[in-house]
Amino acid sequence: MPNLNDTHNPSLRSWVDSANLEGNDFPIQNLPFACFRRRDTKETLRGGVAIGDQIVDLGALRDAGNFEGLARTGLEAAAETSLNHFMSLGTAYWSALRASLSAGLAEGSSAMNALKSCLIPQAEAEYGMPCVVGDYTDFYSSVHHATSVGALFRPDNPLLPNYKWVPIGYHGRASSIGVSGQSFPRPRGQLKAPDAAEPSLGLSKRLDYELEMGIFMGSGNALGSPISIDQAEDHVFGLCLFNDWSARDIQAWEYQPLGPFLAKNFASTISPWIISTEALAPFREAFSHPENDPQPLPYLSSKKNSTEGGFDVTLECLLRTEKMRAAGEAATTLSQSSFKHSYWTVAQMVTHHTVNGCNLMPGDLLGTGTQSGPSHEEAGSMLELSRGGKESITLPNGEKRTFLDDGDTVLMKGYCQREGFVRIGFGEAEGTVLAARDS
């Protein structure tokens, strides 16, 4: 097990009672970061750390003069209006601040009163983007997703020959990435039915979600200096939930020869909380390619990556339609999967991204690609669940879907659970499709 320390101790409890409740996403072993302010105020955004149903206001904690050394430097950076500066500092600072917060929030801490005055209930908060995302890249790391989607788009040639050699990705667009609570109008685009002679401009009728994880880069690399596989994770700040909304009909017409473009860049939704790689240490997985598959080239391979390169994060996607909302009904689960099925690890994606000398920057976001599991029920998109729109999904209230309707809210959740450790959660990434605006 990599780098376990006092902050992972399963017997650790917090004086914040809600953090000790079973099944809560934010026990003292988690301590994820977000940027927030009090709802409906003009307060400046600042960094916060989740504990139970509360947020430690890092701005208030800084102003009160708490912590010292690396933790103090980290605190001052994390209290800024975005986390980019904190992300750029590197593991020693992230770890020192986590250790100080863990000690201060633990039962019996002498710092209890100082920290208590810095708590704000999550129910009273609104979230901003945790950082300025300068660049966003989306990978395609689930072989199950790549195979089933490939079969729909290219029945005779589902998995292209490079897939098992190269962590496939494309450069996406950062400006339309929003935090949970995002809503956006149904996109328009060029559409061409297979039997139509010509394309026409119209509203997407095959609007979909993609159940992904987001990887936030911490310290970057200089242009021309690749990051090696065993150093890759030192450059990763943490993980979040990521919904890469996709218009399948726009995608089908535009994606060859250069890949996704307008089918993907109209909106993407992240969860507000970033779970640090340190918090995820107890939930690592061995990584390997199946014996008969090509083995990763040496630059994408190491003992460390093989023994603990994976992350066991359970991912869940839920839907709440407008009708369900009006009836006061809860969201219904569409599918569940795990990031442990990924064909490429986080370290491999980072290393591959920089192997040509490309420089990653603090706050850059990498999407993992849709995390579909091996079985049909574990599919991370409606395209797969509805088998390309051929089989409708019946919801508990009798409504049917092959793709998303206006008013549909998609919710993504994630958590890690393992014998001998305290469960930690990712919170939610929620987004809603609105009716298109007049063109």
Residues of the shown chain interacting with Ca ion in the complex, contacts defined by CB under 5 A: 138, 210, 244
At its nearest, how many Å lie between Ca ion and the CB of residue 367? 6
Question: Rounded distance, CA 400 to CA 395, Å?
Answer: 6
What DSSP string runs through 235-280?
GEEEEEEEE--EEHHHHHHH-TTT--STTTTT-EEE-SPBEETTTT
Q: Which is nearer to Ca ion, 130 or 172 (CB)?
A: 172
- Angstrom distances, CA of residue 427 to CA of 24, 87, 187, 378: 9, 20, 27, 20
Residue 11: φ, ψ to 5°? -90, -5
At its nearest, how many Å lie between Ca ion and the CB of residue 260? 7
- Name the residue whose CB lies closest to Ca ion: 244
Q: Which is nearer to Ca ion, 58 or 334 (CB)?
A: 334
Q: Which is nearer to Ca ion, 82 or 137 (CB)?
A: 137
At its nearest, how many Å lie between Ca ion and the CB of residue 210? 4
Indicate the residue type of 171: H
Residue 296: partners with Cβ closer than 8 Å, 6 or more residues away: 289, 348
At its nearest, how many Å lie between Ca ion and the CB of residue 227? 23
At its nearest, how many Å lie between Ca ion and the CB of residue 168? 11
Q: Which is nearer to Ca ion, 36 or 426 (CB)?
A: 426
Place of tokens 């190491």: 302
Q: Which residues are catalytic?
A: 145
Q: Which is nearer to Ca ion, 80 or 244 (CB)?
A: 244
User: Which two tokens mark 382?
Assistant: 């409606």
Q: Which is nearer to Ca ion, 11 or 256 (CB)?
A: 256
Judged by DSSP in three states, 302 sits in coil
What DSSP string runs through 262-329?
TTTTT-EEE-SPBEETTTTGGGEE-----TTSPPPPGGG--HHHHHH-EE--EEEEEEE-HHHHHTTP
At its nearest, how many Å lie between Ca ion and the CB of residue 318? 19
What DSSP string runs through 357-421?
SPPP-TT-EEE------SSGGG-SSHHHHTTTTTSPEEPTTS-EESSPPTT-EEEEEEEE--TTS
Question: Rounded distance, CA 50 to CA 18, Å?
Answer: 11
At its nearest, how many Å lie between Ca ion and the CB of residue 145? 9
Question: Rounded distance, CA 27 to CA 12, Å?
Answer: 9
Question: Rounded distance, CA 142 to CA 159, Å?
Answer: 11
User: Which two tokens mark 155?
Assistant: 């029945």
Q: Which is nearer to Ca ion, 226 or 373 (CB)?
A: 373
Indicate the residue type of 266: F
